[in-house]
Structure 1
Amino acid sequence: MRAIVTIAVREVRGMFHSPLAWTLLAVLFAICAYMFNAGVLSYQIQMVEYQAYGMRGGLPLTERTIAPMLGNAAILMLLLMPLISMRLIAEEKRQGTWPALASSPLSPMTIVLGKYLGLLLFLAIAIGLLAIPPLTLYPFGDPDTGQFLAGLLGLFLTAAAFGAVGLAASSATENPNVAAVLSFGVLLMLWILSWMGNASGGQVDKMLAYFSLMNHYQNFLMGVVSSADLIYFVLLSAAGLLFARQRLMAERIQG
């Protein structure tokens, strides 16, 4: 466990020693904050129109402001995570530092888990930043805290699955750019599977809908946390980590 933590800390330091991590965090926060502000402004306009017609009650605040921001944040994560994860293993291979790590007494699974834990720590920081804009609603409104927290959990699990796929792609090549393109292609395919299912219909539709990342994430945005969705993200992340482990084991044997 100590070795995993050591590798994770090393990865996080490496991320923040380069301008890439800082730039991606700044871009992610700026775009999401802008989308959130636009959503709040749109909500205010809709409330004025709603009340002008003499309707009682109000519009769902969380559903109209926080949920759209978190939904768009997942799409941004799909674009940005390949850029973060591409260097985890492929960059070390390109720089020539990988043989020293691969020949160490550490098991391939320890190395994979350490790098993945470092990635999760980075994601925790990113999602913590994204939680700031919605918190500004509390002094002025009454957001649904349960739906808000479920959305954050869903975003973290979705991004963690993105990272696991990116780590698997990074283990499969020595070129970080190829790893980024490969992981983005796989993630995009998983994201749009439900669209393909809508065109096919029948049992194929149900199967593709289950494997669609977007469908599982949408449940979290609605405030629904189900065991089926949790298991899906855990299994997808585990599949990526196991693939990376097998690749490292194969390279160690060949070496």
Structure 2
Amino acid sequence: MRNAWILCKKELKSYFASPIAYGLMAFFAAIAGYFFYVAVAIFVTRSIESQMMGGGFPMNVNEWVVRPVLMNISVVGLFLIPMITMRLFAEEKRSGTMELLATSPIRDWEMILGKWLAAFLLYLAILGISALNMLLLFLYGQPDARPILVGYLGLILQAGGLLALGTFLSTMTKNQIVAGAATFGVCLLLWVFDWVSAYETATWAKVLSYLSVVTHFEPFSKGILDTKDVIFYISVIVLGLFLTARSIEALRWRA
């Protein structure tokens, strides 16, 4: 575990030693801030209209602001995650240091866990920017904290799974662009699988819908914590890291 943490810190330093981390943070801050502003503006406008029409019940800030923002953030993650994971192993293969890692005493799981954890912590740091927007709701309103906490748990679990798959795909090529494009393609597929069930009711469509990250994130965005959704994301994390281990093992044999 010590080696994994050392490698994790090394990867984090490399992220922040280049413009990558700062660029992603700036991009996310702008996009997340825009979505938050739009959601709040719509909420305020509808609230005023409701009061002018004599509406008897106050509008729910969680339903009108928190949930749309969380859903939009999960979409933004589809673009950020490939840019975070594309260099993890592809850069090592391009520079020729992958062979050194493959023949080093460090165990495969330590190498994989260290790199995945670095990507995961970077994403958490980026995600934390949007939490500042949510704090404003508590300063100027009375939102329910549970849906926000559960929603962020869903974002974290979803990111963990997609980052694990991206880590695996990064081992398949020495070209960072190819690795990033492949990861984005997989993320996009896992997102649009949910749309199939809207047009098809066959068993295969239900299977694809179950594999969609949207299907399992929607309950989180509503503040619903369901064990089956947690298990799904943990399974994706385990699958991604397992496939990465098999790929690294193959590299060791070739080395």
Could you state the TM-score of these two structures normalised by the residue count of structure 1? 0.97
User: Structure 1 CA distance, aligned partners of 2:43 and 2:198?
Assistant: 31
Per mean C-alpha deviation after superposition, the further-off stretch among 17-26 and 193-202 is: 193-202
- The number of aligned residues is 255
The SS at the match of 1:59 is coil
Deviation, structure 1 residue 143: 0.7
Tell me the residue number matched to 1:209.
209
What is aligned with 1:115? 115
Counterparts of 2:18 and 2:145, CA distance in 1: 35
SS in 2 for 1:136: helix
Match in the other structure for 2:69: 69
Partner of 2:47: 47
Partners in 1 of 2:113 and 2:220 — Cα distance?
A: 26
Residue of structure 1 in register with 2:253 after alignment:
253
Between the aligned partners of 1:120 and 1:81, the Cα distance in structure 2 is 9
In structure 2, what is the equivalent of residue 96 of structure 1?
A: 96
Please name the residue that 2:151 is paired with: 151
Q: CA RMSD in A?
A: 1.0
Deviations 1:62-121 (A, max 9, x none): 121122112111111101110110000001110122222111111111110111111111
Instruction: Give, in angstroms, the shift of residue 207 of structure 1.
Output: 1.6
Where in structure 2 are there 5+ consecutive unaligned residues?
none
Contact 2:89 2:167 (C-alpha < 8 Å) held by counterparts: yes
Match of 1:250, SS state, is helix
Would you say the 8 A contact 1:78–1:184 is kept in 2?
A: yes
* Contact preservation (8 Å) 2:24, 2:126: no
Quote the offset at 1:252 in angstroms: 0.3
Percent of aligned pairs sharing the same letter: 33
Distance in 1 of aligned mates of 2:137 and 2:200: 42
Question: Does the CA-based 8 Å contact 1:82-1:166 persist in structure 2?
Answer: yes
Whichever residue aligns with residue 188 of structure 1, its letter is L
Counterpart of 2:125 in structure 1 is: 125
User: Which residue in 2 is equivalent to 1:18?
Assistant: 18
Query: Is the 1:39–1:65 Cα contact (8 Å) retained in structure 2?
Result: yes
Partner Cα separation in structure 1 for residue 15 and residue 185 of structure 2: 23
- What letter matches 2:82 in structure 1? P
Q: Once the 2 structures are TM-superposed, how far is the Cα of residue 48 of structure 1 from its aligned partner?
A: 0.6
- Residue type matched to 1:187 in 2? C
Contact conserved, 1:198 with 1:205, CA < 8 A, in 2?
A: no
The residue that corresponds to 1:135 in the other structure is 135
Partner of 2:180: 180
Cα distance in 2 between the residues matched to 1:56 and 1:25? 41
TM (norm. structure 2) is 0.97
Give secondary structure in 2 for the equivalent of 1:143. coil
Q: Distance in 2 between the 1:102 and 1:203 partners? A: 42
What stretches of structure 1 move > 2 A for 4+ residues in a row? 197-200, 202-206
How many angstroms apart in 1 are the aligned matches of 2:117 and 2:109?
A: 12
- 2:232 corresponds to which letter in structure 1? Y
CA distance in 2, matches of 1:207, 1:99: 39
